[in-house]
Chain A
């Protein structure tokens, strides 16, 4: 952490942000390659061909949900084609392989007293999924989507928050070491709606999550929090897109990641667009990485495009620090062994973020999982 550098990234000139293709049909997309900007950090050979958009499922995920008053869960509802298309071949491919959709509804005006926990458990098969989380008007809830087990899984989540609704969605990627997980998390906010989207990625061979925020009306608020830990050989990628297309909306992005071990690779890309009509926008994004040991690589690309000057604020920052030998020596010279020293530094690094996530159910779980993974024991 001695070589901390704040990075200034040039503001890219405005361009047309409409996705080239938006479709539910994978054949509408060209097959991505590592020459595509969106995939330039992604290890394509480790995607089990899911990027071809035509891989067939060999099984399914086991899904379970607790019953919480004010919420409804439909595990296998009918697929409707009346929905917005996806932005890449992987997501559309997943959709095309599915026969049903799971839907969690938080009923209007309900303020849920307990967290809804959707557990998605893999048992090694190739599987696809679509989870819709619909938060009706003026409802509020905390939803934890817990991904565990082993899987080759492309599963998308659509989060729709109606006017005045407020939801915290925590997506936990606590996979076994072999897992592949590819997902788009598309968030749409109604008038004065708010979301806290938390992505916690700890396990898996390759995990690639693409959260995006779309404002359907003014007054929306999005808080995007990410915590990731990549051990030796793991690839963890988060690509965010916040599309400020409405007036007086806020977004705040905080992602923190730690790398431990050889060839650990993390990618964070934060694209924030403030369109010409999005006056009164307030946005900030920050990504911090900590390389604990080994030759890990943390790619961090904040990207802010501003098409109007009439905003409240817009900023970004990115830092990568290294836990170096001098720090280790100092802690050891106070009797703290190497493993404990790494834990101490890691705990310190993530502690404020766990505070911001503020979902007590996951704090201990995340802490324990990270510490168990530290030193490559999982």
Chain B
């Protein structure tokens, strides 16, 4: 059973006025089979946490530890982290002109699995996953995220998650920008991966509506660079009803 352990994580970014601390000591443990929701106001540092776990070079780790199954994640390069089993669905997936989705996915899967997939199986697997997420098969030949709508990008992120089948997936506002039908389709995709019990999910969101489909085991309230409150699904309803103001003094 995989486990991601984050302890006392502090992170800063470089700004024009010098370094700025964004994460002020994050403690969080996510195990395979668990779904954790992370909720917090704009600018509280949720994406920073997600990027820091994935290893984005813009974020400097100033303290604390991150480990995956006992291995030091912070020592790994970005691609090593992915191959170790970490996955990040980005809030703003990046366009990569000139590289088709099918080429990109095949290269990614080859890297993650350590060998090129059998071509016939791979085509079938890709088709099925795309169909499950109601992605037009023609998207396979389009360039990565180029000209994709917001919702199309999010579906494609979950397509990648499904194919990669990571140990730990951090989903950064995957629900934002999805219409009601897409929200259901994407949620089902997430649940398909979770149902295998091999993946732990950290779901960053502003809204409880996705939590109606993807049922969290734990809810964490993020405020000013740290987790200020933890609880069960009821916490999400409380936030929706009363906002974050109640945690300001926490």
Contacts and interface: CB of A to CB of B under 8 A. Distances in A.
A335 B83 contact: yes
A120 B5 CA distance: 61
A327 B94 contact: yes
Interface in A329-378: 329-338, 340, 344-345, 347-349, 351
A326 interface: yes
B97 A334 contact: no
A348 B103 contact: yes
Chain B interface category by residue count: 20 to 34
Interface stretch (B18-26, B106-114, B181-189, B210-218): B106-114
Contact of A334 (B55, B77, B100, B112): B112
Interface in A1-23: 1-2, 4
Contact of A327 (B90, B96, B111, B112): B96
Interface in B81-113: 81-83, 87-88, 90, 93-100, 103-104, 107-108, 111-112
A337 B79 contact: yes
B229 interface: no
A340 B78 contact: no
A336 B143 contact: no
B9 interface: no
A334 B96 contact: no
A299 B226 CA distance: 48
Given A340-B111, A344-B107, A348-B103, A333 B78 contact: yes
Interface residues of A, number: 25
Contacts of A336: 79, 107-108, 111
A351 B102 CA distance: 14
B192 interface: no
Nearest to B99: A348
A325 interface: yes
Given A340-B111, A344-B107, A348-B100, A332 B79 contact: yes
A321 interface: yes
B93 A334 contact: no
Given A329-B57, A345-B99, A348-B103, A334 B94 contact: no
A4 B98 CA distance: 13
B108 A334 contact: yes
Interface of A: 1-2, 4, 290, 321, 325-327, 329-338, 340, 344-345, 347-349, 351
10 contacts: A1-B98, A329-B57, A331-B108, A332-B78, A333-B55, A333-B82, A334-B104, A335-B111, A345-B99, A347-B103
Which A-B residue pairs are the 7 nearest by beta carbons?
A348-B98, A335-B111, A332-B78, A334-B108, A335-B82, A330-B94, A335-B112
